[in-house]
């Protein structure tokens, strides 16, 4: 389904080469001022324009130039939320008029083209369609709204690039990106995210545990192949006495009042210059992922905060 | 919430020291014979009784001796499913009559006692309550039923211990477990799981992708700290050209007809002899986790298979 | 599905001739004392034992003698709710040991036997199965719990018989019931219900309006054929200037702080002495319906009250 | 919430004086051609333009002149559904530029203004906002799509005016409407609806019975005060032996293969010339309701048909 959340709900729509992408945020608390500038900053982050200058060569030129601007359709009066659904759309301006007929019968390897064709008996052959990363623009808008709500609770969410390939410092990452780019290849990356200010009690037993819900939300992002938190996969080598009661932010799946740390990994994209000469692709899609990770975390936490405040 | 799934739905109830644990399976297809012996085998696996003999010393004696037997309350006629909800319970026979009064005001560190107390203003102080691993017995029964349904579709799910601490062979694991036990300590582990026979098309865009839903289901298990699939976290060090189109079983979040592989990591338990002299604890709780991982995977996949067969 | 509600959720299970009927209440606020005596009174009302003596001849003797006693399995400590799921069961003691083989291939007319057989390819031929009014015992237990929660908000719900056939006074109803009984026939009835103490703001736009949710809940009761509120069906003959701003308790589907009145109609049962000589049936099933109507209303309003208190 | 349905899901957004109303249809089967002309006919019906000429004087001139045209944003390729969410919007062209400041502090009696203000602490004072009947335009578009899907199953839904005030023939209705109009008053009406072609087995026990779900859907329409089916409220005066096994289309809440008949009642609107001199209002809002009733019935039945076809 294309809806996520129970109380704070986001319904997402749109294909990459259709009229628009967008969404409907339902359950957003009334009376909050929506800061459009903050949304614009997040869309800039998604485009790669806020990355360190020395990394920007590694971003697809098309992404860098995208000027997405959401049009809000409902739920606001003078930019104040009414408690009714907030719908918005972002028109797809990059849809070119070229003849797509040649793509009609080609399913790109390592893409979702063939599974969509098989599952639905039809697909939007003009591009990635619903499976394109284009849809993340809508997530970023809704996520930015969710972060603004969480700020009223003093909860902040920050994600950043922790690793690219085997490189973990900005300098090493720069060198690695250059090397990968030179080979026309692509490389994976790890994004880390910290949630600060969570009160005790966010997350629900049994199946809506905070880490479980965050894992689902983050792993719904294209190319994300793993999620861990606290001691995570590295903890397998530790003994119980080493862990020193580090909770990772949750006990029994419910926030314990300490910061919540999680990581997620993005695989190298299969679209690369080596395979498609002349194409200008992201060398490492993880670079532009942090704001999307924040968006998914923010929507999930907003949902669980509202649930925990309802006293059930 | 204590319900998981949309079409195949499992509602779980019970505290460790209450009358019973159990659950209600709703949406189970009608006309299938339920194999009680297969359920019993899965409960034996959860108790640790099917582990290699040389590992059994590492299992809590209480777990090894648990003789759980589900009582089915509804949804069956001569063990054939009626299409109506299948409710079952497992009575808590290990609840001792001792005086729990002394535990009333003690919240064990690194357990969920304090967060439950804070969230609900009350908790079942007689034991782990709702946060106890006791509830996984109900998951195993429902999961065993889900696996039986999937077998009618030729889908099989198998999970196994892949790593304990840094040991990856049965022999090395045995030595490590002995060492950890001797120190009164505990150690983490990694469980791997393979899903075979999945047709193309299982999993839904955008937020009910197969890996996203599996991640949530598996990470709702106590002590699970991470989930990955396909190239996973290890893939961060690979380049796009290395991956050679390995899909990991899903493209765009939808099964592509190949086997689906995933891993999950369990942290060392904080309950260990070192901390609580005289206690007899699991040295590595991951040892008994594979059947629970299978259960969560099976329920999730049953839910998504039914959805994909409904043609939406 | 066998679950109703979003935040206050009730999952119901059980066939009339299976082991038990029962349910799981999830989302019940923590820290409330459950009054078992009040539940017992409601089960007495369902059995018909609290009806005026002069009406009791019109109730099935089997119903009158039913001594249902719920066994609580979870969610309670010393009868205080823990905030975890409250599961309970009521064993089916009236299940006779007779040979049901003769019923195996008979679908009773005007009953759901044939549609169940057709929909599921199987049915519980030992009795009404899932479609039997037996399941309402579980609704009454959960509804009684819901009413206890609502009392903490000073919200009360009271339903009563307003009409039997064309009779609207106790005396006329008595005479009519005698006449219908004498003919071995059955007759319909109307139940009215008043909800008092609702604060302003209960009910959600657009599809979870208070009257919409109540209608669905009440019309899920067997034999209920209609629901109206406020001016209702009678209002069709009124002009706008007559209505004098009577809201019926809700405006735009949201409670407005006045009492909420609704009615529902129960058809005459198709099981009657005329058709099945020797059978001893309810002459008017509406007589025992008010407590079930209250139960469905209480669960629905509890769900919507919790939602409205969560501030979304 | 602003979403209805489980498998066929409709999310509705928009205020009467905001940018647009619209919605997202999720779960619509792939590969169907959407007939825009049929949608336009349904929007014409909603505007009152297809009513008998002699009734059109009774419709608000503004409604009659509304030229709503949905813009589809996603989910379609050459008007064929892709199996992805179909989003659409209808811009609000009637939003006048007048100064709304004077309305800011006025809550119209018998409207939802005050309950919205109370519930959310804010409301869209420029008009009825979310509570305006304007939102039904979006329902009609989604409902028209649902009817097109049902036609592929040979299921048809037709609603019509059965009664206005106490008048039940076209001639009497015409006279009555003239009389009411002359007095500057308003009058209620009853809409009947017949669902033909339903296979056996549509509707789910226990809480998603066909009549229960239809009641909720229809009663979510503004001004609808009651719903009944089969023998309905009139059946209260009948005896069991009269009913002659008339099922009304469902047994145990599940369709039995016969036509399903239901009725719903709309109260007279509180907005009338008598109260607001110079205003030009609908004399009987029920006149334009049948297409909205069809829409709600169609979405509900599409949802339940998909569920029943999924074999759960």
Cβ <8 Å between C122 and B27 = no
Cα D253 to Cα D243: distance, rounded to the nearest angstrom = 17
**pLDDT per position as a tens digit, A174-231:** 999 999 999 999 999 999 999 999 999 999 999 999 999 999 999 999 999 999 999 9
Nearest to A306 among C83, C205, C312 (CB): C312
Is B33 part of the contact surface with chain A (CB cutoff 8 Å)?
A: no
CB within 8 Å of C178: residues ≥ 6 apart: C57
A103: pLDDT strictly greater than 90? no
Rounded to the nearest angstrom, the minimum Cα separation between C212 and chain B is 22
Contact criterion met (CB below 8 Å) for B24 and B11: yes
Average model confidence (pLDDT) across chain B: 93
Rounded to the nearest angstrom, the minimum Cα separation between C277 and chain B is 29
Mean pLDDT to the nearest integer, B246-257: 90
Is B160 part of the contact surface with chain C (CB cutoff 8 Å)?
A: no
CB within 8 Å of C70: residues ≥ 6 apart: C22, C39, C43, C88, C89, C90, C141
Contact criterion met (CB below 8 Å) for D167 and D175: yes
Is B8 part of the contact surface with chain D (CB cutoff 8 Å)?
A: yes
Select from B309, B288, B296 the least CA-distant residue to B133. B288
- The chains in contact with chain C, meaning 3 or more Cβ pairs closer than 8 Å, are A, B, D
D99: pLDDT strictly greater than 70? no
- Residue B245's pLDDT band (cuts 50, 70, 90): low
Cα D240 to Cα C275: distance, rounded to the nearest angstrom = 10
Average model confidence (pLDDT) across chain A: 93
Nearest to D84 among A3, A73, A130 (CB): A130
CB atoms within 10 A of CB C62: 12
Cβ <8 Å between A306 and C307 = no
Cβ <8 Å between B3 and C20 = no
Chain C residues in contact with D131 (beta carbon < 8 A): 205, 252
- Residue A150's pLDDT band (cuts 50, 70, 90): very high
Average model confidence (pLDDT) across chain D: 93
Cβ <8 Å between B201 and A119 = yes
- Residue B177's pLDDT band (cuts 50, 70, 90): very high
Residue B161 has phi, psi (to 5 degrees) of: -70, 125
DSSP assignment of A138-174: HHHHHHHHHHHHHHTTT-EEEEEEEEETTB-SHHHHH
Contact criterion met (CB below 8 Å) for A171 and A145: no
| Nearest residue of chain A to residue C9 (CA atoms) | A312
Chain C residues in contact with D187 (beta carbon < 8 A): 238-240
> Any idea how long chain A is?
312
Query: Which pLDDT does position B38 carry in this prediction?
Result: 98
Query: Which pLDDT does position A244 carry in this prediction?
Result: 62
> Any idea how long chain B is?
312
Question: Chain B, 205-224: which have a CB under 8 Å from a chain A CB?
Answer: 205-209, 211-213, 215-217, 219-220, 222, 224
A96: pLDDT strictly greater than 90? no
Question: Chain A, 52-71: which have a CB under 8 Å from a chain D CB?
Answer: 71
Chain B residues in contact with D6 (beta carbon < 8 A): 6
Instruction: Tell me the whole-structure pTM to 2 decimals.
Output: 0.97
CB atoms within 10 A of CB C280: 11
- Residue A133's pLDDT band (cuts 50, 70, 90): very high
Select from C222, C193, C228 the least CA-distant residue to C282. C222
Cα B147 to Cα B126: distance, rounded to the nearest angstrom = 34
Question: Chain A, 89-148: which have a CB under 8 Å from a chain D CB?
Answer: 89, 116, 119-126, 129-130
Rounded to the nearest angstrom, the minimum Cα separation between D91 and chain A is 9
Give the residue from C84, C203, C310 with the most A CB atoms within 10 Å of its CB, the best one to mutate.
C310
Assembly ipTM? 0.97
Cβ <8 Å between A222 and B187 = no
**pLDDT per position as a tens digit, D7-58:** 999 999 999 999 999 999 999 999 999 999 999 999 999 999 999 999 999 9
Query: Which pLDDT does position B98 carry in this prediction?
Result: 61
Cβ <8 Å between C111 and D251 = yes
| Nearest residue of chain A to residue C30 (CA atoms) | A312
Nearest to C220 among D109, D209, D222 (CB): D209
Chain C residues in contact with B92 (beta carbon < 8 A): none
What are the mean pLDDT values of chain C's consecutive 10-residue runs (312 residues total)?
A: 96 96 97 98 98 96 92 97 98 73 80 91 90 95 98 98 97 97 95 98 96 98 97 92 78 96 94 79 96 98 93 64
CB within 8 Å of C138: residues ≥ 6 apart: C12, C13, C14, C21, C22, C23, C88, C90
The mean-pLDDT minimum among A119-128, A145-154, D3-12 falls in A119-128
Rounded to the nearest angstrom, the minimum Cα separation between C23 and chain A is 18
Cα A59 to Cα A42: distance, rounded to the nearest angstrom = 16
Q: How many CA atoms lie within 13 A of A27 on its CB side?
A: 27
- Residue A312's pLDDT band (cuts 50, 70, 90): low
Chain A residues in contact with D85 (beta carbon < 8 A): 2, 11-14
Cα B215 to Cα B230: distance, rounded to the nearest angstrom = 13
D97: pLDDT strictly greater than 60? no
Angle at A218 between CA A216 and CA A224, to 5 degrees: 110
Query: Which pLDDT does position D244 carry in this prediction?
Result: 61
Query: Which pLDDT does position C278 carry in this prediction?
Result: 75
Question: Chain C, 74-93: which have a CB under 8 Å from a chain B CB?
Answer: 74-77, 80-87, 89
A97: pLDDT strictly greater than 70? no
- The phi-psi region of residue D63 (left if phi > 0; otherwise alpha if psi is between -120 and 50; otherwise beta) is alpha
Beta bridge partners of C63: none
CB within 8 Å of A264: residues ≥ 6 apart: A190, A191, A193, A218, A219, A221, A224, A226, A227, A228, A293
User: Which regions of chain C does DSSP assign to beta strands (E)?
Assistant: 3-4, 9-14, 20-26, 71-72, 76-77, 80-81, 86-91, 156-164, 189-196, 224-229, 250-251, 254-255, 260-266
**pLDDT per position as a tens digit, B37-90:** 999 999 999 999 999 999 999 999 999 998 899 999 999 999 999 999 999 999
| DSSP structural state of residue A221 | S
Contact criterion met (CB below 8 Å) for D52 and D175: no
| Nearest residue of chain A to residue B190 (CA atoms) | A236
Contact criterion met (CB below 8 Å) for A115 and B254: yes
Chain C residues in contact with D265 (beta carbon < 8 A): 228, 232-233, 235-236
Chain B residues in contact with D29 (beta carbon < 8 A): 311-312
Chain B residues in contact with A248 (beta carbon < 8 A): 225
Q: What is the dihedral of CA A180, A185, A188, A189, to 10 degrees?
A: 40
**pLDDT per position as a tens digit, D127-158:** 889 999 999 999 999 999 999 999 999 999 99
D190: pLDDT strictly greater than 80? yes
Cβ <8 Å between A219 and B209 = yes
> Any idea how long chain C is?
312
| Nearest residue of chain B to residue A239 (CA atoms) | B187
> Any idea how long chain D is?
312
Cβ <8 Å between A230 and B267 = yes
| Nearest residue of chain D to residue C191 (CA atoms) | D236
D227: part of which helix (H) or strand (E)?
A: strand D224-229
Chain C residues in contact with A310 (beta carbon < 8 A): 7, 306-307, 309-311
Query: Which pLDDT does position C14 carry in this prediction?
Result: 97
Cβ <8 Å between A29 and C84 = no
Cα B207 to Cα B212: distance, rounded to the nearest angstrom = 7
**Could you tell me the strand order of the sheet in which A189-196 lies?**
A156-164, A189-196, A260-266, A224-229, B224-229, B260-266, B189-196, B156-164
Cα B149 to Cα B38: distance, rounded to the nearest angstrom = 12
Rounded to the nearest angstrom, the minimum Cα separation between A125 and chain C is 36
Cα B77 to Cα C131: distance, rounded to the nearest angstrom = 15
Cβ <8 Å between D306 and B309 = no
Chain D residues in contact with B84 (beta carbon < 8 A): 205
Give the residue from C120, C205, C231 with the most D CB atoms within 10 Å of its CB, the best one to mutate.
C205
Rounded to the nearest angstrom, the minimum Cα separation between A176 and chain D is 38
């Amino acid at each position: 389904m294309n809806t996520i959340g129970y109380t704070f709900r986001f319904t997402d729509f749109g294909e990459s080469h259709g009229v628009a992408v967008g969404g409907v945020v339902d359950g957003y608390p009334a009376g909050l001022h929506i800061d459009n500038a903050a949304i614009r900053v997040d869309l800039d982050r998604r485009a790669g324009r806020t990355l360190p200058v020395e990394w920007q060569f590694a971003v697809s030129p098309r992404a860098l130039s995208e000027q997405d601007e959401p049009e809000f359709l409902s739920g606001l009066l003078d930019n104040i939320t009414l408690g009714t659904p907030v719908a918005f759309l972002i028109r797809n301006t990059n849809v070119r008029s070229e003849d797509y007929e040649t793509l009609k019968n080609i399913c790109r390897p390592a893409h979702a083209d063939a599974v969509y064709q098989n599952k639905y008996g039809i697909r939007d052959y003009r591009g990635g369609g619903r499976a394109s990363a284009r849809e993340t623009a809508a997530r970023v808008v809704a996520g930015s709204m969710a972060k603004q709500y969480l700020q009223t609770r003093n909860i902040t969410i920050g994600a950043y690039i922790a690793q690219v390939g085997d490189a973990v410092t900005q300098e090493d990452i720069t060198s690695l990106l250059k090397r990968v780019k030179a080979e026309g290849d692509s490389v994976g990356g790890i994004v880390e995210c910290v949630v600060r200010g969570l009160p005790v009690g966010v997350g629900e037993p049994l199946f809506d545990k905070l880490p479980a819900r965050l894992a689902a939300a983050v792993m719904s992002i294209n190319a994300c192949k793993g999620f861990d938190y606290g001691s995570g996969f590295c903890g397998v080598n530790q003994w119980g006495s080493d862990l020193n009661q580090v909770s990772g932010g949750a006990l029994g799946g419910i926030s314990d009042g300490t910061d919540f740390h999680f990581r997620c990994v993005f695989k190298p994209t299969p679209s690369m210059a080596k395979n498609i000469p002349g194409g200008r692709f992201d060398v490492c899609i993880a670079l532009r992922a942090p704001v999307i990770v924040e968006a998914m975390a923010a929507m999930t936490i907003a949902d669980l905060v509202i649930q925990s405040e309802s006293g059930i």
